[in-house]
Amino acid sequence: MSTRSIVLDSLATQRTLIERVIASAVPLLLGAGISLPYGVKYGYVAAVLLLPVWVSILPRYRGARLYVILGVAAVVSGFVLTGFAAADHAISSSLLLDNTIIMLGLVSGTGALLWSRHIVGAPMSAVWFGAGMVAAIPLGSGIDSDNPWRFGISLPITVLLLALAWKWKSRPLEIVFILVVGGISSLNDARSGSAMLLMSAALVAWQLRPKAAGRRGSTVRTLLGFVVLGSAVYTIAQAVILGGLLGERTQERTQAQIDTSGSLILGGRPEAAATTSLISENPFGYGSGTLATLSDILVAKTGMSSIGYLPNNGYVENYMFGVGFEVHSVLGDLWIRFGLIGAAFTVLLLVLTFRTIADMLARRAASALVVWLAVRMIWNVLFSPIGTSVPLIMLFLAVGLLPAKESPLPSGPPDLPKRSKRRITS
């Protein structure tokens, strides 16, 4: 071998190793979510710096380019709507900046994680992301709450354990991890969290059933089964809670929410009624830097009162409208802050989620982590704030988006270069 070939091989090996190190560090930083001033996070900075490399990866995954385009367009829409709202609303430049960073951080973080998946494989990217989340547990506010498992520990532990089981390619271990975490969650008043884990365990186990020779699962039939299973889990979980099997406190809180609105979901998430009223009042959105007026608050309260909720308790004024608009729903938050483009962005999230989970389940290729993240995505879109939902949205899209062309899902890192040849798993 010539000296030139040896040098080229050495440089190629060093470049590959450097890429792997960076591709491991990025999900670690994004998972940790450590903040700089003005809501910027170290992970977002790294993602923006890597823009030239992850932009070239987007065409490899279905819907990735449209996702980025809509995300950037939503930011512009938020600015425009804020400008129009300035005629009769107070405007906050710091709020505008915060919401802009949330959206750009979500888009750039997803792109950087897709690049990490391209370099080290989806399971390993998820492991590093989960490790970052676990490392940051002591820094989160949830650890100091009255229920640290529910608000600060359960999500990081779930991500890391399921990512490790995926990396180790162990279905039984996936089910064991889900059931253990779900059991702990059910004993710590995490009703929705334990129900989502139960549904995920059922879907993972369902993929282990005997397969008919020469028959591939139907994507449409799988999607319908997914919906039916969700309904069954909701019904069973509600019956278990009301039966007192998860404790008297959980039973009393659940019964009170049902008595309030006639539905556990509406009783537990009365913000949905406020969202409906606000969007009905102004379907074009309010702007990412717009502060709510007294009229807006009254519109929201009227909607909440219509389902039997008593909104004059300080929660509406202090949490939902203390600084801008917060309606405890990714769909509502993005629609109100970024208008119709924000709503379209959220619809795309749902389309990508259902497409991914239906396709993977039909092929029996869905890991427990991807299944659980898909279930969480649907829940978060409907019932969780955008601010706390960003990490799991990024992770799901990064490890779950389907390849643009039919090809095996990435299961591990690429091989180191041999001689002058360089192979990368995509």
Query: How far is the C-alpha of 188 from the C-alpha of 198, rounded, in Å?
Result: 15
The pair of structure tokens assigned to 371 is 């299944």
pLDDT higher than threshold 50 for residue 415: no
Please report, for the chain, the start and end positions of each structural domain, with discontinuous segments joined by +.
3-400
Q: Please, which contacts does 35-38 make with residues 24 or more away whose CB atoms are closer than 8 Å?
A: 38/94, 38/97, 38/98, 38/101
What's the pTM value of the predicted model, to 2 decimals? 0.86
- Write the pLDDT tens digit of every residue in 225-271: 666 666 655 555 555 554 544 555 555 555 555 545 445 455 457 88
Residues 6+ apart with CB under 8 A from 224: none
Query: How far is the C-alpha of 106 from the C-alpha of 333, rounded, in Å?
Result: 14
pLDDT higher than threshold 90 for residue 312: no
- Write the pLDDT tens digit of every residue in 42-54: 999 999 999 999 9
Q: Please, which contacts does 179-182 make with residues 24 or more away whose CB atoms are closer than 8 Å?
A: 181/154, 181/157
The pair of structure tokens assigned to 104 is 């750009």
Residues 6+ apart with CB under 8 A from 356: 370, 374, 400, 401, 402
pLDDT higher than threshold 60 for residue 193: yes
